[in-house]
């Protein structure tokens, strides 16, 4: 179960495949399993796909605060830095889409 330390807590993630990067962001009350067992296997045939548990979800730590799309966009930025992903296609479901949108606004 790979984890990286970002913004003072540990984030669980999974990667499959090779190629251009695709990062999957789940919605509220979900986890990376939302993508891992359905979409990731097919996408991993052409891309390196990364899915992660956003703060307070799945196997990622549960901080006391910081659950805004802005905070989670900062988490995404730190995760991409840690994993040395310079450029990625972002795919978000529900609140994950809001996080992806906010991220693209502050890190075009």
What the chain holds in terms of domains, given with CATH numbers, is 3-106 (3.40.50.1820)
For position 74, what pLDDT does the model report? Answer: 97
| pLDDT one digit per residue (tens) for the chain, 108 residues | 899 999 899 999 999 999 999 999 999 999 999 999 999 999 999 999 999 999 999 999 999 999 999 999 999 999 999 999 999 999 999 999 999 999 999 998
pLDDT of residue 1: 87
Q: Which residues are CB-contacts of 96 (< 8 A; sequence separation ≥ 6)?
A: 24, 25, 26, 27, 30, 54
pLDDT for residue 16: 98
The pair of three-digit structure tokens given for residue 85, joined into one six-digit string: 């992903």
Q: Where are the alpha helices (DSSP H) in the chain?
A: 33-36, 40-43, 69-82, 95-106
Claim: this prediction has a pTM higher than 0.85: yes
In this structure, are residues 37 and 31 in contact, taking their beta carbons and an 8 Å threshold? no
Q: What pLDDT, on a 0 to 100 scale, did the predictor assign at position 108?
A: 86
């Amino acid at each position: 179960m790979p984890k990286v330390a970002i913004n003072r807590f540990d984030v669980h993630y999974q990667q499959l495949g090779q190629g251009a990067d695709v990062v999957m962001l789940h919605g509220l009350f979900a986890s990376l399993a939302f993508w891992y067992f359905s979409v990731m296997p097919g996408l991993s045939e052409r891309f390196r796909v990364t899915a992660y548990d956003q703060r307070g979800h799945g196997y990622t730590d549960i901080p006391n605060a910081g659950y805004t799309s802005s905070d989670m966009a900062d988490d995404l930025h730190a995760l991409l830095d840690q994993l040395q992903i310079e450029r990625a296609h972002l795919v978000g479901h529900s609140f994950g889409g809001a996080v992806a949108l906010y991220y693209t606004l502050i890190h075009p």
